[in-house]
Structure 1
Amino acid sequence: KPDKIRITAKEGSTFVAMYTEVKKVTVKGFDLLKCSNIGKNTLQIPLQRGVDSRAILAAIEKAVQGKATVKVITEMGSLFLDVLEMDTKPDDVVKALADDHQVEVGIDAITLRRRRDGHQQGFIQLPKAKAMDLVDKILVVGLVRVRLALVREKPHLKTKDGCFKCKELGHLARDCQSDGDGDMNNETPAKDLAGASAESTSSPSSSRT
């Protein structure tokens, strides 16, 4: 996905006033028609690939005249290094990226984790576009040659809140209006059905003496 620009109206300004000023921006690569209101007085605009985000950022900042904050949002990606030597340090990965692929990253972009066999795994955090360019490339870290792989994000599964008191979905126990316990399938126990049936078939006169 391309980078995005987020523009948020400052206190004392309004979304409409901010939008009116942003409409005046005509710099190349900026398309206001693709904008969306994401709430909290914030306008989000996707940028086309390859555009000069710094030029667009400067043009918008000039237009809003300090009445809004303007940020460029860069989508990040993570690269996975399966096996590294036991004594590998983040500095070694940083140096390998610069030497092998002319990619400069800070040490805080590197995460190392110990495997069960004592070796290490590595993760490199980069802008998504740059990470995609490095997928399947070989990186030589110390004495190890490792192929870079993209970490795929797992989809977020939507779950419904459930109440352990009445076993119904849609609310929690603290908000439950039920007086007693329920059943997960909302089924009435057989003994209760039998009792209800007996009551319904007995006539009022049969209980009189």
Structure 2
Amino acid sequence: MSQLKIISRDKKVFCTQGISSILGVELIARVENIQYADACRDFLTSMGNYILAGGGLTLGQTAQYGYWLTKLTEGESNAEFFEYNQDATEFMPGLDFTLFAWMEQHKICNNAGSTFSPPRPDKLVVISEGVYEGEQVEGVRYPSPDHMSGWWITTNKYNGNVETLKTVHAYHLTKNRPDLLGYLAMEYGYRFESNSKKTWFDSKAI
């Protein structure tokens, strides 16, 4: 197997050496914010090793990294990882949001003692009135069908009538409430309160 090397161009752009024997091109990943530089290097190392191990990632294919989606996009002389924009409508250069989500969610999972278990951004979340308006929330993640993330997120405006709740895609939630993004990777059975930032496991939720 080829030996993978990661080369830093300007501390925010990283390039592989050792992938062209498989894909015909080397890989690039970049960030705008230098605070994500180390995470960007780790991302490219992970993807490069996955390809070298026969993982099957090809040009034009999407790849989920933690919570968010990336896409290996072919350029003139290389292939660069793009990320879904926060509206989930198109792929754009750079990986800042992907890596922000990765770092925030790992931090909260580590603090909570939870396995890292992010949903896909197209999975559904149950929310009550007041969530999109920025009010304090409580969240709980239940074991759920595959199309659901398992998350139920409510405010004090929720009166207990489930008919007043609605389902939204996770990417809509995180676009409107980026402060809740970090909690979504906690596994089934976990709860959180946004006001106190408290997280805990509730066996009754399982």
Instruction: Compare the two structures and name the one with the higher strand fraction.
Output: 2
TM-score range, shorter chain: under 0.3
TM-score, reference length from structure 2: 0.26
Computing the radius of gyration over CA atoms, which structure comes out larger, 1 or 2? 1
